[in-house]
Amino acid sequence: MQAGLTDNAACLTIVRMKMRTALLALAAPFLFSLAVPVFAQEPVVGVENPDALFHSKDKKLDRNLQSAYHIMLDLLECNHWDESGKWLTEAYHQHNPLAASGRAGVVAFFKARGVQPTPVPPKFVKTKIVSVVAMGDYVIVVTPRGPTPDPRDPSKSYYTTWFDQWRFVDGKADEHWDPQTIPPPNPNGRGKK
């Protein structure tokens, strides 16, 4: 009788060892993937009907969303900065380190870039929109960026997102945030190669 118990115990030990080996074999690729950085990525794309994202049943949110829509389309896509008073307050507090605060400061920033107004289409043509979030006085618009050359390997490129966030007062943007950083100086001078 003792031999039968020993055989069962030995059998159980072998089964346990096989189970551990099988589990390790199944888990190894997952554990290995945690140790190796993964650089494969899907491109960031805009939605098919971005205009629909700029509406709300709430009247205040809809007003702010419509202002953000016109900032994105009329100002940023079509460069009608002469009409910025429709969508931006005079104070327009700017948190982008490249542009000054005040409506005049942001208008000067874009005009200094040499942008020229283009006709305003009935909907977005060039600008792709990923998402729009509105809450209270705030609207965040997320747009795709890329392909962008990878600074670590110029033969590769990557995709990412950009966001613009505004705080609205009486239907006009009064404050703005984005992830802009100050770029390093161009070693070749201003735009020269």
- Decide: 70 and 62 in contact? Cβ < 8 Å: no
Answer whether residue 84 shows pLDDT above 90: yes
Output the pLDDT for position 10. 57
> In this structure, how many other beta carbons lie within 10 angstroms of the beta carbon of residue 190?
6
- For 68-98, the DSSP string reads HHHIIIIIIIT--GGGGGGTEEEEEEE--TT
pLDDT digits (tens, 9 = 90+) for 100-113: 999 999 999 999 99
Report how far residue 140's alpha carbon sits from residue 117's, in angstroms, rounded to the nearest whole number.
24
Output the pLDDT for position 41. 76
pLDDT digits (tens, 9 = 90+) for 89-135: 999 999 999 999 999 999 999 999 998 999 999 999 899 999 999 99
Q: Could you tell me the pLDDT band of residue 32, with boundaries at 50, 70 and 90?
A: very low
Nearest to 140 by CA among 107, 173, 109: 173
Output the pLDDT for position 185. 87
Q: Is the peptide bond before 121 cis (omega within 30 degrees of 0)?
A: no
Report how far residue 158's alpha carbon sits from residue 83's, in angstroms, rounded to the nearest whole number.
35
Output the pLDDT for position 33. 46
CB within 8 Å of 30: residues ≥ 6 apart: none
| Strand (E) or helix (H) holding 162 | strand 153-169
